[in-house]
Structure 1
Amino acid sequence: MESSSLDFVAQSCMDLTEAMNAASNEAERDSLITNHIKKVSLSVGPIEDFKKNLEWVNVSEPISLSNHCTDKIVVLDFWTYCCINCYHVLPDLAHLEKLHKVEDGLVVIGVHCAKFSNEKETSNILSAVQRYNIHHPVVNDANSTYWDALGIRCWPTLLILGPGSKPIFVLTGEGHRDELVWYVGAALRHFGTRISNSSLATIIAPAKHVMAKEEETLSFPSKVALNPFYRGRAEEPFLAVSDTGHHRILLTDCSGLILRIIGGNTPGFKDGKFHEAQFNSPQGLCWLSSNVLAVCDTNNHALRAIHLDDGSVEVLAGNGQQSVHGDLGGKCLGMQPLSSPWDVLLYTTPDMDMSVRPLLPPPPAPPGPASDKDKDGNEETKDKEKDKKDEKRRVLLIACAGSHQIWALFLDNTIWWKYKSHTEGTCVCIVGSGAEAARNSAYPTTAAFAQPSGLALRSGSSPEVFIADSESSSIRRLALSTGQVSTLCGGDRNPLNLFAFGDVDDIGVEAKLQHPLGVAYCESNKTLYIADTYNHKIKKVDVGLQKVTTLNPTLIESPDPVTFNEPSGLAVSIDGKYLYIADTNNHSIKLLNLVKNVCQDFKVRLPDPKFIEPENLILYKNDLFVNRKCGNLIIYFNVSLDSDTRNVKFTPGAPQNWHVCVRDENNKDVTLDDFEFVGSSHKGNKLPGRVEMKLKQRTDKTHYRLYLSFHTSLCDASVCFSHSFTIRSTILVRDSVKMVESYKITCKVNPVNRTDKTESK
């Protein structure tokens, strides 16, 4: 089919939309849609089939329109996974698929046509499909040959096919849920006798092999935020992590141990206590105080607040619905919708009006007396003019990727640019026209962004915000004193060129990036760090010179280079020595030592379950010894019945199982971490038994606790029963003992009087 035929369908759809807007009732609307289907079905031929050499996701075999879909209604979604507008279409497609199953005659197929070179890799598409919970088939049109053949011009485009692969509807852009439901429903009714209930379900298989492994704590972590109020206390959170794939926020200590989990694995939009609150693909994070964390709840188009003092979550802005195009805001808190907020930061500016109670607790006051008293004992205000000047009003700046703008939530009554007054709780667009471009301007409302996705603040006398403008592959800067927007590095001088991407270290616009999603600024070394996401790199910018340089760290344990996979979030320590990296597609957080240029995993993990010593514990009074230099420890052990148990016998043929556990001074199970079991298994053996353990490497530990647990089967004259007990001993680690130490332990079992005891040789 020639692209001109698709143009005919597109024009007919535009005429249909205009006529439907004038329709007076539902019956008239349905009649218009049916007449449209009849007209275009007679006027156009079938589109061409997919090429046979394309790679597919979510299917067990490639799909053919002519073989699998000739008797189906097919929705082709032309998309690319960098595109925020394409993300906005996914809930509409999911809604459509709930209404009409494959067995009903509807097939949705994603046709992925890459914008960036990184997106051409099927493995990266696999990750995106998993991250965004896409279950329908997706074909990788890596070189856009299918796109070109059909004359598709923009992302997203939805092409609806009738039986025989004839195009009947074309929808471009986002926001067409109602039309999708109307058009597909009408097509299924109109072609009812030609629609077959033969199912494609047998070959549709959602991809699982790019998911985080079950034992991994994180799933597609996107953003990280160091707690600037951290004072080193064990119970205080040190790092906040958006565990995006699990729809939750994790708060960890400085070692990565999880202190709090907020939200859960199921996406939703719910306030309340930590265990009942729900998020949907959270992204950006910002600490407002030591007890309040702001979260970009991206797929809920909302900004949420996590309150650690009472363990609750509440909405700061947004109502769960995406704002309409052209909405410039002005409503208060939860009444003002947003569009895919991706990152957030806190900015404080002078001349705050404190006549109204603050929405959130103000930053902690500096130490020292709050006020002085005069000679009569009355409170005295010192230098009121100075106090007024030093007051700060707090503004939350929000990168709304979906509307290509920067918004602000005013936490206090604030006089903003051009002396415009905003009352506490007001949420409004402050920069960006809403057009998708990379247009710089001295006037904030005429500037334009292309999917801003990361924010970093540079404070001082001339404060500014650095913005990761992902679709223009550039870093933009916003002067907070004037609202002027300019380019720091990357992109192109032509504001409409959103394809000026690459991997080039240079100065200003001569440097090239590829879809950066994260930035972090360090005041101490005047350096901006960039998560150059689609180049799988971390870069830094000397802000004064606008010079871009790639960091090439090695692993801390070897000279091998670190391999990132679409890193998207950064947080830098105040001293500029460490950079925390959300390594998204590797499902991990990395810690980069910027001084030594070495990198290691920051192991985010749940605390080990509290160890409770087993019941019926027998203390073996003699210590065991092992040589510090990889010595061997051999234990021979047996279980016999005490002389007082004349009527009790071991059950013939029943197993007498034993198990070994070794714990260190921190009560951590190190059975397999520190010891190698030589010559025999350490569980499941019948008695008598033998276990030989060898230290894997020289250790500085001085002692361990050994637990030998037994489970025996016994019988008396009338009944059979089981008996369990555990022998506990101490293993001392020394330099002076033999390289091979051996011990014999016999336990006398008395289940009747519960007087089990041990003997040694």
Structure 2
Amino acid sequence: MGYARRGRVRAPELIGRGGWINAKHDLSLKALKGKVVLLDFWTFCCINCLHVLAELRPLEERFGDDLVVIGVHSPKFEYERDHEALVRAVARYDIGHPVLDDPDRATWDQYGVRAWPTLVLVDPAGYAVAAVSGEGNAAALEKTIATMIEEHRAAGTLNETPVETLPTAVDSGPLRFPGKVATGPDGLLAVADSGHNRVVVAHTNEAGHEAEVLAVAGTGARGARDGGFAQAEFVDPQGLLFLDTQTLLVADTGNHLVRRLDLPSETVETIAGTGAQARWGATGGRAKGTALNSPWALELWDGMVAIAMAGPHQLWALDLEKEDIGVLAGSGMENLADGPAKVAAMAQPSGLSSDDGRLWVVDSETSSLRYLDRSGRLSTVVGSGLFDFGHKDGPAADALLQHPLGVVVTPEGPVVCDTYNSALRRYDPQSNELITLAREDLSEPSGAAVLGGELLVADTNNHRIVRVGLDGEVKPFEIRGLLPPAPVPVKGLVAVEIGPVELAGEVELSATLPVPEGRKLDPSLGPPVQLSVSSDELLSDGGLLLTGDELPARTLLSLDAAEGHLDVLLRVGTCEEGPGAVCNLNERRWRVGVRRDDEGSPRLNLGLGG
């Protein structure tokens, strides 16, 4: 993708009735004149949009203040029009850039957008110069953005003043946006503490009213490290499956992996996936050598582990004995179409549960409850299409769900976590009807399991696990001994991978982090700004360490080799203002692939994104 001046059109102004999130002040393209602006038209239900958020983080890190990414939230589902629901989604997915809440899709219409996600690049003069839809476009955009920045910097038309952000925070507690819950033999319980990037293993008491923590796997840092529970890392884990009292499988959704937890030894091992995201058309192969795409739920089916693979809109099957993995059902087309497994169509399957003859599936983007039978046929009992959703009880043919993410089989019939209706719904196979079991006091329930005669439910946006009886009463469930994760130590930091970047032999490096409102740089924990840069290949002395008292931190680098990596660590000490202030040391690490080129950029900005 090149940066072409021809065919430019003036970018329409940004409008959204819901206002701004993550921005200290309302923003406009007029006020952002001189900035390179990348508009991300997204909606928080959409798995492809979540993938693009991950693709954009390295761009935000590389270009810092020279690039302003703005999320234009353009909802599909009715629930997504709710401003507070969007605020929670922004926090849940750790979005650091400004987001415009456009519940009426006014800006979407002005730009003629037709698909989620769509990226539109606006140059410093205020013209829309490129637009791309779908995933996998960030690498092409990176080169265009770099060229645009250098040209406007040389012309003196680049505005490098930082845009003031106000990151969204939510009150959580020991759990943060838990996604799934599973029960196992001998009173075992597992919770995907998704927002904390960890998995909690506990033991329920005899009455089933509470549990005691046995172990926690994951440091809380984003990463994919195997090893002991205290060193292992996950990214947004979701589906859970006990194989026995010693083995728990985890769908490590954000890493595109399936992990095995050995409970007696407290170790984590990757058993499927490469860590890369599979692209459309993948069919399977050796489990450890096959890329996956957002595995979201796990269930035993026909002697294998069925996987709800949300990214390619399919079900996959993992054969633990043969260590193979492949497609179980779904053509890969995003739609609702019944029929033989290989030609049927799904749309973001996100929950699984099985009984004697059926593998039940909730298909979130078609708001449907479906099942795969042993003949290999996929059938639908509730739901009719990608844009047919709501909250309606009654005969299954007329009933409506709204973006369900979980399902669990009970003796009375499968219970659906009707996520965007913040409800539990039960389907009765005998009467072929859907009823609402519970709706009060729930917020985006995403997963459920059976414990005794009750349900344990991941009440995701309330950051808790609750019990729900057959009468629909929502009751508390405590996991005793569970604490929030400790602050991530420097050793556990996950480096943001950037590049390769073409840089000149002499480079000015600048790095910064946001200072939250109500806090200030403070030397109570040592020099308030500490910058470490190291590279055995590129720097003659191996590295340097700078300290200071202002942001961004800046230094000049002389690159001695043709290519290599720069490892950059920035520490920023801040304290609250006023007496009795609480102080924190925030840290960020980047690993930048570099190619030295005499015509490369003389600046490397690492900054506020991601």
Shorter-chain TM-score range: 0.7 to 0.9
Whole-Å separation in 1 of the counterparts to 2:16 and 2:216: 46
Whole-Å separation in 2 of the counterparts to 1:106 and 1:167: 14
Distance 1:53 1:310, change over 3 A: closer
Q: Which runs of 5+ in 1 are unaligned?
A: 1-15, 17-32, 233-237, 350-393, 413-423, 554-561, 609-761
Whole-Å separation in 2 of the counterparts to 1:405 and 1:53: 36
* Contact 2:178/2:460 (8 A) holds in 1: yes
* Contact 2:152/2:158 (8 A) holds in 1: no
The one-letter amino acid paired with 1:339 is N
SS in 2 for 1:282: coil
* Contact 1:155/1:172 (8 A) holds in 2: yes
1:328 paired residue number: 283
2:292 paired residue number: 338
SS in 2 for 1:257: strand
Deviations 1:420-443 (A, max 9, x none): xxxx111001211111001111x2
Give the deviation of 1:324 after TM superposition.
1.5
Matches within 5 A, 1:142-153: 142-153=103-114
* Contact 2:17/2:101 (8 A) holds in 1: no
* Contact 1:298/1:342 (8 A) holds in 2: yes
Distance 1:66 1:598, change over 3 A: same
The one-letter amino acid paired with 2:462 is N
Name the one with the larger strand percent: 2
Identity fraction in percent: 37
2:396 paired residue number: 508
Give the deviation of 1:144 after TM superposition.
0.5
SS in 1 for 2:223: coil
The one-letter amino acid paired with 2:248 is L
Q: Specify which of 164, 189, 207 is matched with residue 168 of structure 2.
A: 207
* Contact 1:111/1:141 (8 A) holds in 2: yes
2:261 paired residue number: 306
1:173 paired residue number: 134
1:664 paired residue number: none
Correspondence 1:156 to 2:117: yes
Matches within 5 A, 1:125-524: 125-192=86-153, 193-201=155-163, 203-208=164-169, 210-212=170-172, 216-227=173-184, 229-230=185-186, 238-254=188-204, 255-329=210-284, 331-347=285-301, 349=302, 394-412=303-321, 424-441=322-339, 443-459=340-356, 463-479=357-373, 481-489=374-382, 491-492=383-384, 497-522=385-410
Distance 1:206 1:242, change over 3 A: same
The one-letter amino acid paired with 1:425 is E
1:563 paired residue number: 441
Give the deviation of 1:145 after TM superposition.
1.0
* Contact 2:408/2:414 (8 A) holds in 1: yes
SS in 1 for 2:409: strand
Whole-Å separation in 2 of the counterparts to 1:482 and 1:223: 29
Give the deviation of 1:457 after TM superposition.
0.3
Whole-Å separation in 2 of the counterparts to 1:152 and 1:512: 27
1:742 paired residue number: none
* Contact 1:109/1:138 (8 A) holds in 2: yes
SS in 1 for 2:292: coil
Q: What is the total number of aligned residue pairs between the two structures?
A: 477
Q: Specify which of 459, 475, 489 is matched with residue 600 of structure 1.
A: 475
Give the deviation of 1:54 after TM superposition.
4.1
The one-letter amino acid paired with 2:14 is F
Matches within 5 A, 1:609-628: none
Give the deviation of 1:508 after TM superposition.
1.9
Deviations 1:455-487 (A, max 9, x none): 01011xxx11110100000011111x2110110
The one-letter amino acid paired with 1:226 is T
Whole-Å separation in 2 of the counterparts to 1:449 and 1:430: 12
1:633 paired residue number: none
SS in 1 for 2:216: strand
SS in 1 for 2:87: helix
Whole-Å separation in 2 of the counterparts to 1:165 and 1:548: 51
Give the deviation of 1:84 after TM superposition.
0.2
Deviations 1:547-593 (A, max 9, x none): 1000147xxxxxxxx311101001013x5x20000000000001112
Q: CA RMSD in A?
A: 1.5
SS in 1 for 2:239: strand
Matches within 5 A, 1:543-692: 543-552=429-438, 562-573=440-451, 577-594=453-470, 596-606=471-481
SS in 1 for 2:243: strand
SS in 2 for 1:509: coil
* Contact 1:74/1:161 (8 A) holds in 2: yes
2:586 paired residue number: none
Give the deviation of 1:53 after TM superposition.
4.7
Whole-Å separation in 1 of the counterparts to 2:472 and 2:13: 51
Whole-Å separation in 1 of the counterparts to 2:86 and 2:482: 34
* Contact 1:315/1:333 (8 A) holds in 2: no
Deviations 1:226-252 (A, max 9, x none): 11x21x5xxxxx210000000000011
Whole-Å separation in 2 of the counterparts to 1:250 and 1:181: 38
The one-letter amino acid paired with 1:204 is T
**Larger RCO (CA under 8 A, 6+ residues apart):** 2
Give the deviation of 1:253 after TM superposition.
1.9
The one-letter amino acid paired with 1:466 is W
Q: Which aligned segments of 4 or more residues in structure 1 are displaced greater than 4 angstroms?
A: none
Whole-Å separation in 1 of the counterparts to 2:369 and 2:281: 24
* Contact 2:241/2:250 (8 A) holds in 1: yes
Give the deviation of 1:194 after TM superposition.
4.4
Correspondence 1:94 to 2:57: yes
Whole-Å separation in 1 of the counterparts to 2:223 and 2:482: 26
Whole-Å separation in 2 of the counterparts to 1:248 and 1:527: 31
Task: Select the structure of larger CA radius of gyration.
Answer: 1
2:20 paired residue number: 56
Q: Specify which of 406, 427, 434 is matched with residue 541 of structure 1.
A: 427
Whole-Å separation in 1 of the counterparts to 2:325 and 2:346: 19
Q: Specify which of 19, 30, 37 is matched with residue 66 of structure 1.
A: 30
Q: Specify which of 28, 38, 41 is matched with residue 5 of structure 2.
A: 38
Give the deviation of 1:607 after TM superposition.
6.3
* Contact 2:181/2:189 (8 A) holds in 1: yes
Give the deviation of 1:332 after TM superposition.
1.4
The one-letter amino acid paired with 1:589 is I
SS in 2 for 1:191: helix
* Contact 1:540/1:549 (8 A) holds in 2: yes
SS in 2 for 1:94: helix
Q: Which runs of 5+ in 2 are unaligned?
A: 205-209, 484-610
SS in 2 for 1:85: helix
Deviations 1:319-341 (A, max 9, x none): 11101110111x21211111000
1:358 paired residue number: none
Whole-Å separation in 1 of the counterparts to 2:220 and 2:482: 19
The one-letter amino acid paired with 2:329 is V
Correspondence 1:75 to 2:34: no
Deviations 1:90-125 (A, max 9, x none): 1111010011011xx210000000000110111111
SS in 2 for 1:181: helix
